[in-house]
Amino acid sequence: MISEKITKLINEQIVHEQYAAQYYLCMSAWFYRENLEGIANYFRVQSKEELLHADKMFDYLNNVGADIEIGAIDKPEQQFKNATDIFEKALAHEKKVTQLIFNIMKNANEEGDFATSSFLQWFVNEQVEEEASASQLVSKIKMVCDNPSALYLFDQELSQRVFSPKTEF
């Protein structure tokens, strides 16, 4: 039986994931405006992944018979200084999400809610990957941002990313 507290935290996390999707969409729009369609594509795919995370939590709450209550999504910041600023904000945001997931995990562990702990383990692993790739991209954008031909190649590289729901889903 899932507690009210854990139910509330996961309901809130659904909105955090949807907020992340909106935030990445803002970032994507910025790159489209700069004619960096490959990087824009990367953030667009990232946005879709976040929506899947929200869906996964929605399904979980439904499966355990919890009350689902969907909250409002705040408007994300959309004033960015430059490309590096965006990648840094993406990394900072992933770190924030990791802490939110850890907090739910901590509460689930304290309550002995093994079902939720087991469910959240996927997200803990996912956040390790998310932070690793976000921080790698911060390093890369810093390498290429002042060199148009390098930036062009970086944009080409990120254009290869396609949206593919992971098999765990």
Applying CB under 5 A, the residues found at the interface with Fe ion are 17, 50, 53, 130
CB of 24 to Fe ion, least distance (A): 8
Q: What is the largest CA-CA distance in the chain?
A: 57
CA distance 105 to 117: 6
Residue 16 or 151 having the CB closest to Fe ion = 16
Q: Are 168 and 122 in contact (CB under 8 A)?
A: yes
CB of 147 to Fe ion, least distance (A): 28
Residue 126 or 151 having the CB closest to Fe ion = 126
CB of 163 to Fe ion, least distance (A): 14
Residue 130 or 155 having the CB closest to Fe ion = 130
CB of 120 to Fe ion, least distance (A): 12
CA distance 123 to 8: 17
Residue 119 or 151 having the CB closest to Fe ion = 119
Letter for the amino acid at 20?
Answer: A
CB of 53 to Fe ion, least distance (A): 4
Planar angle of CA 116, 122, 124, nearest 5 degrees: 90
CA distance 74 to 134: 23
CA distance 59 to 62: 5
SS3 149: helix
Letter for the amino acid at 63?
Answer: N
Residue 60 or 151 having the CB closest to Fe ion = 60
**CB closest to Fe ion, residue no:** 53
